[in-house]
Structure 1
Amino acid sequence: MKHIIKLTLVTVLLVSCGGGEKTKSVEDLIASGNLEQLRTKKSELSEQQKQVESQIKAIDAKIKELNPLLKVPLVTTFKAKEEKFEHFVELQGNVSTKQNIIIYPEYSGVLTKVYVKEGQKVSAGQALAKIDDGGLGQQLAQMQIQADLAKTTFNRQKRLWDQKIGSEIQYLQAKSNYEAQQKAISQMQQQIGKTIVRAPFSGTIDDVITEQGTVVGPGQSQLFRLVNLNSMYIETDVPESYLTNVTEGKTVEVNFPVLNKNMTATVRQAGNFINPANRTFKVEVAIPNSDKTIKPNLTAKLKINDYTNEKAILIPQSIISENAEGEQYVYTATSKNDSIATVKRVIIKTGKTEGDFIEVLSGLENGAELIDEGARSVKDGQEVKILEIE
């Protein structure tokens, strides 16, 4: 437009300059070949050109002043829509198993036999090692002879007593002696049984700690580490603020960084005790381990679903502003006419965040058109031009 006006004014001036009888046209001057006249004409036209350019600038400034559309800010918008929103609390935990123990002896003595080796699978009750009984076996044999004698004496006294022969006290003494011998044998057998170290559950011998021939003692000497990888779980500490949201049955996304492995699990147990030292409670997440790749004490990253909204409105946090009263607000585009719209400030209340987005609890309806780019430079009631983004 500017160039058209400029060419028009120059043409008018040239025509007016060449239309007089006393003034020669540019073509005539060029044809005459008069150098002085040509230089004079060039100076006149240059001066006229400067005047025309100055007038064009003044016209442009007035056009900008009179045309309100040239002052309208350019913005982009997007429409708010309802969608499913899931919030996750991110934590770190360690893999554990309730069947990962160190086996100690129950009897003092020399470890005379070790029946297993590292990596060997064993079943519950299987003998793992033998401790020298220190002569308990011989004592048991002698006690058995005494018990047999007590049994014979008791049987004879019983037959006599049944025939009303002899005294009752003799019968009762024989009975008492026999029963005492039986209890003594049972106790001795239990003692001897402690010299055999057995597996408390089925699993794998992960480590043979004490070698054959070593003197061992109850609660002091570590013999074996027994591990069962079938019953694995992750244990983590959850802040008390999530007490009502992180409960049994909640979905958990599990990641094992070392294994580059992901899986979905559920909360098996949520603790009922809050640790006063760090204000957390324990949570257990059961995990399958069919391929036996997950080991005790392996680090895991957890994302526990603590909140779900099937019809949530999510908006970028970057478009939210805050007034002096601490209220949060956004700008919407209303009264839209073609690409021109009016800005409206809307007070909102927000909820949980997930990445760069935040949930709007109130203030916005489904389908509301919000100002995105340019939201920081507009004002309530201002007209804006909406750019269409392909």
Structure 2
Amino acid sequence: MKHIYTIAAFAFLLISCGGKEQTVEQVLSEGNLENIRAKRSEIEEKQVAISKQLKLIDEKIAELDDSKKLPLVTTVSAKTENFVHFLELQGSVQTKENIVIFSETSGILQDVYVKEGQHVSKGQLLAKIDDGGLEQQVSQSEIQLALTKTTFERQKRLWDQKIGSEIQYLQAKSTFEAQEQAVNQLKTQLAKAAITAPFSGVIDDIITEQGSVVSPGQSQLMRIVNLKNMYIETEVPENYIKSVVEGKDVKVEFPILGTSVDTKIRQASNFINPANRTFKVEVAVPNKDENIKPNLTAKLKINDYTSENALLIPLSIISENANGEQYIYVISNKNDKGEATVNRAIIETGKSQNDVIEVLSGIENGTEIIKEGARSVRDGQTVKVIKY
């Protein structure tokens, strides 16, 4: 339309000048430089005049054409979908079988039978401390025990036949029992010199080298870790106490490893920490490849809410008024030109996940909601809906 007005105005100026005015072609054919320059100045003046007139015409058109004033918006339809919400927390990997083995007796660490990284079985001999002749004492005590046992058994047979005195029988019995306890005590002491694996696992660190002098309760010998029975412990806010329970599905991600595993909550604490109003949950971690290590940082996604028919809308289009109410803008009475009326809808929302949020009330399934341009419209305004 703008080009039509330009041509019309130019033609009008040409007509208004009558037939006396020379054309550009005529002036150029004469070859007179002064006339050519004069013709150029004349055309420039006409061009400026036409531009001013076109500007006035465009301003008047914009004033009279209401369709150009309508704000342009895009819309999205609210629809029901399957909605799975995850509570995202952070935790670290733990194991109940991760201990440092201490010496239980004093002496020289005579032998170390394992090396770092070695897999061992429960009860396997790991190291031995010099017993200082305790094994010989046990052998001698066992010989003495055998003698006191024989004496006691003979005295008992005599006593059963009413031969001999009761005091002889009791003395023989007492001597045997005392010797038996002495042997058992020596054996217990001797057993402390043999370091065995308390559970199956991996020798993570040899702390004290062979030949070192060790003391009971002070000398750390080695660390043993079981990487099979791993778990993650994390703290959950108390308002999730009804939804985060034993058996809930959990997705565990390990950012360092770039892997994730699907597991479940195996224990939820019944105690709420009064200091931070949280309770602890324990999540089992399968570790067949043994690449998950203790104290490794993990991200937990706990499925605390699921709805098969949740009404979802983009989180970014929600606003809040002075009363703390959440609202969105919807459209109605849309015509074939895409022109529609804006209506403000007060809504009640539920849980959000990523960039969507569940609407509990305020709109229905299929409601057309303003998406782009929602921040610049007002209630009752007419807008034009466009599509990308």
Q: Which TM-score applies when normalising by structure 1?
A: 0.83
Tell me what 1:72 maps to.
Answer: 70
User: Which consecutive residues of structure 1, in runs of 5 or more, have no partner in the other structure?
Assistant: 19-23, 34-44
Provide the TM-score with structure 2 as the length reference. Answer: 0.83
Other-structure match for 2:382: 383
Distance 2:309 2:169 in 1: 87
Q: Which residue pairs with 1:128 in the alignment?
A: 126
Alignment counterpart, residue 147 of structure 2, candidates 146, 149, 161: 149
Partner of 1:37: none
Within 5 Å, give how 1:77-116 maps onto structure 2: 77-116=75-114
Shift of the alpha carbon at 1:46?
A: 11
Q: Equivalences for 1:16-35 in 2 at 5 Å?
A: none
Q: Which residue of structure 1 aligns with residue 244 of structure 2?
A: 246
- Aligned residue runs from structure 1 range 1-390, under 5 A: 1=1, 3-4=3-4, 64-338=62-336, 339-389=338-388
How far has the Cα of 1:16 moved from its partner? 9.3
What is the CA-CA distance between 1:67 and the residue it aligns to? 4.3
Deviation at 1:198, TM superposition (A): 0.8
Q: Unaligned regions of 5+ residues in structure 2, if any?
A: 31-42
Give the Cα separation in 2 of the matches to 1:245 and 1:325.
30
Distance in 2 between the 1:162 and 1:175 partners? 14
SS of the residue 1:175 aligns to: helix
Deviations 1:22-81 (A, max 9, x none): xx7879xx9xx9xxxxxxxxxxx9999999988877766565555433332221111111
Q: Per the alignment, do residues 182 and 386 of structure 1 end up closer, same or farther by CA in structure 2, a change over 3 Å counting?
A: same
What is the CA-CA distance between 1:224 and the residue it aligns to? Answer: 1.2
- CA deviations 1:271-319 (Å, max 9, x no partner) are 2333344443333222222222222222222222332222222222332
Matched residues, number: 374
CA drift of 1:347 comes to 0.5
Amino acid at match of 2:188: Q
Equivalent residue for 1:40?
Answer: none
The alpha carbon displacement at 1:223 in A equals: 0.7
Letter of the aligned partner of 1:190 in structure 2? T
Distance verdict in 2 for CA 1:340–1:113, change over 3 Å? same
Q: Distance in 2 between matches of 1:48 and 1:230?
A: 91
CA distance in 1, matches of 2:115, 2:162: 63
- The answer for the alignment partner of 1:41 in structure 2 is none
- Secondary structure of the residue aligned to 1:376 is helix
- Per the alignment, in what secondary structure is the counterpart of residue 163 of structure 2? coil
- Pairwise CA RMSD: 3.4
Residues 364 and 151 of structure 1, relative CA distance in 2, 3 Å threshold: same
Superposed displacement of residue 15, structure 1: 7.4
Query: Equivalents in 2 of 1:77, 1:169: separation in Å?
Result: 106
| Corresponding residue number in structure 1 for 2:40 | none
Instruction: Give, as a single letter, the amino acid of the residue that structure 2 aligns with 1:298.
Output: L
Shift of 1:332: 0.7
Shift of 1:123: 1.2
In structure 2, how many angstroms separate the alpha carbons of the residues matched to 1:7 and 1:162? Answer: 143
Structure 1 stretch displaced more, 216-225 or 184-193: 184-193
For 1:117, the aligned partner's letter is K
- Counterpart residue type for residue 150 of structure 2: T
Q: Secondary structure at the match of 1:156?
A: helix
Equivalent residue letter for 1:353: S
1:234-282 alpha-carbon deviations (Å, 9 max, x no partner): 2233333433332222222222222222222222222233334444333
Identity of aligned residues (%): 63
Residue 320 (structure 1) shift: 1.9
Q: Distance in 1 between matches of 2:190 and 2:346?
A: 80
Q: Which moved more, 1:94-103 or 1:352-361?
A: 352-361
